[in-house]
Amino acid sequence: MSTFTKLRAFSWIGLHSEEDFEALKGCLRDNATHLQALTLDLIDCQQNDFWSLDSGETNDEIPDLNNFFATDVMCLGQDSPGLHFPTLELLSLSEVSFKTAERSLASAFNFSRLQKLRLWNCPGMIELLDDVANSYHALPLVSLELVIDIHHAETLPEMEVSRFLQTISGLRDLYLSLYVWDWEPVLEAVMNHLSSLKRLVLHGRGVDADEDSLWFEEDADYSIEWNGPLSLLFELAECDVMGIANPPNFMVSLLLPPPLIPPDRPLARVPKWHRFPHELQDAPPSSIMG
């Protein structure tokens, strides 16, 4: 790929061998200064002997040396400034490790300029979100997609995701697929973007606890608890598309008219988060479930 020196967008899905990474390293070196879109999916390389999140020779004084991607591909180290992408606007990474190199990789990928960010199950991703939230303000992201399943959630990420969302200004598209127990901090942060959001998808992830299931202890979908903040979010958001992982029959039941109250019974005040605007009551189910 040495002949490609003027690329504006680059995508490689399924890097697998040392030769692949050598080619990737050369291509990024030749195009880093003008690349605008970068997509890397390393999901197939985790089983190879050469690939390791920790080389086995850890260095506490130079933590970045423990991250293969940071040192061998991005050339980030004590004596090297490494690769930097000053014009990057779209970044999509799957299974790319940020461990021990969160700050240097965030700087290299120029998070302060990114408009679209997609992170799927990247080791060290929770620490990255926390570090970025503490280091940057008013990120110009218009599109954000975060996927963290149980195998990549060393801690529950709701607070880190919440703080990261609070650093963004002007968000239009948001997709969250998360292993969390308490969605409320995340939902409160999402509420800050109601004036700009056009597409919103919330996807709960967990683990199959059914001992009789063929997928026992494997990843599984789970419903997000329907509470006041979530109901209020669906009521107030003016999105073109909204999606949630809850069962369709449950979502449809929320749109049914309230039961008639006999005239001899006193009326009870219905909390705001149990009501839906008239437009949603008349809308087809597909319009609220994406």
List the Cα angle 265/266/272 in 5-degree steps. Answer: 125
pLDDT at 154: 79
pLDDT at 138: 87
List the Cα angle 156/95/24 in 5-degree steps. Answer: 155
Q: Rounded to two decimals, what is the model's pTM?
A: 0.80
- The torsion defined by the Cα of 63, 67, 68 and 73, in degrees rounded to 10, comes to -80
Q: How many other C-beta atoms lie within 10 A of the C-beta of residue 124?
A: 21
Whether the CB-CB separation of 173 and 146 falls below 8 Å is answered with no
pLDDT at 25: 92
User: Which amino acid is it at 190?
Assistant: V
pLDDT at 216: 67
Residue whose tokens read 């999606």: 243
pLDDT at 64: 42
pLDDT at 59: 44
- For 243-252, how does the pLDDT look when each residue is reduced to its tens digit (9 = 90+)? 888 878 877 7
44: three-class secondary structure by DSSP: helix
Whether the CB-CB separation of 183 and 200 falls below 8 Å is answered with no
Q: What residues of the chain score a pLDDT lower than 50? A: 47-65, 269-290
Measured over the CA atoms of residue 110, residue 112, residue 234 and residue 200, the dihedral's sign is: negative
